[in-house]
């Protein structure tokens, strides 16, 4: 990504908005010449499959990710539901972009979980710790005998 005015790649995203149609609009600001411009990315997640721990595959549904994050966030009494929704939308957008950028067609649930944790952390620590607790307890439950190092790897 280069500034269309001066050509530098020192650009900051000042606003991100996604539409139901699956387009992400970003308002960007050049850190060098201070001009603003917008970009849009069409999201294509069709055909991306999630491989579950059982080995079964299912279609990747971004709304499930969104709901999962909302669920974790809504347990917090410190965040309003609007704040949770806003954070969850931001995180889901990041996840979608990440998957699209990686050009992967399959993703394991465990990897998706790690990806999520990685993306949630900079957006909301509050949601991060709640989601992490949920994710880890789920993992412990399913893989009681996993070596501890593997669990630590999820950090």
Nearer to Zn ion, 6 or 125 (CB): 6
CB under 5 A: which stretch of 23-31, 56-64, 75-83, 86-94 binds Zn ion?
A: 23-31
Q: Which tokens is 149 given?
A: 């190092």
For residues 12 and 59, give the distance between their C-alpha atoms in angstroms, rounded to a whole number: 33
134 secondary structure, DSSP code:
H
- By the rule CB under 5 A, 3 interacts with Zn ion: yes
The region of 22-30, 37-45, 73-81, 114-122 touching Zn ion under the rule CB under 5 A is 22-30
Smallest distance, Zn ion to C-beta of residue 31, A = 8
Distance in angstroms (rounded) separating the CA atoms of residues 64 and 83? 18
Q: How many residues does the chain have?
A: 155
Residues of this chain that interact with Zn ion (CB under 5 A) are 3, 5-6, 30, 32-33
């Amino acid at each position: 990504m280069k500034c269309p005015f001066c050509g530098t790649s020192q650009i900051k995203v000042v606003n991100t908005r996604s539409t139901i149609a699956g387009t992400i609009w970003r308002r960007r600001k050049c850190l060098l010449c201070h001009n603003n411009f917008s970009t849009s990315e069409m999201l294509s997640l069709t055909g991306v499959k999630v491989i579950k721990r059982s080995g079964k595959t299912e279609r990747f549904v971004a709304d499930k990710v969104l709901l999962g994050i909302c669920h974790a966030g809504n347990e917090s009494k410190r965040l309003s539901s609007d704040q949770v929704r806003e954070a969850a939308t931001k995180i889901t957008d990041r996840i979608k972009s990440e998957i699209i950028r990686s050009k992967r067609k399959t993703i394991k649930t465990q990897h998706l979980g790690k990806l999520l944790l990685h993306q949630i952390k900079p957006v909301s620590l509050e949601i991060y710790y709640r989601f992490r607790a949920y994710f880890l307890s789920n993992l412990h439950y399913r893989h009681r005998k996993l070596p501890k190092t593997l669990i630590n790897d999820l950090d």
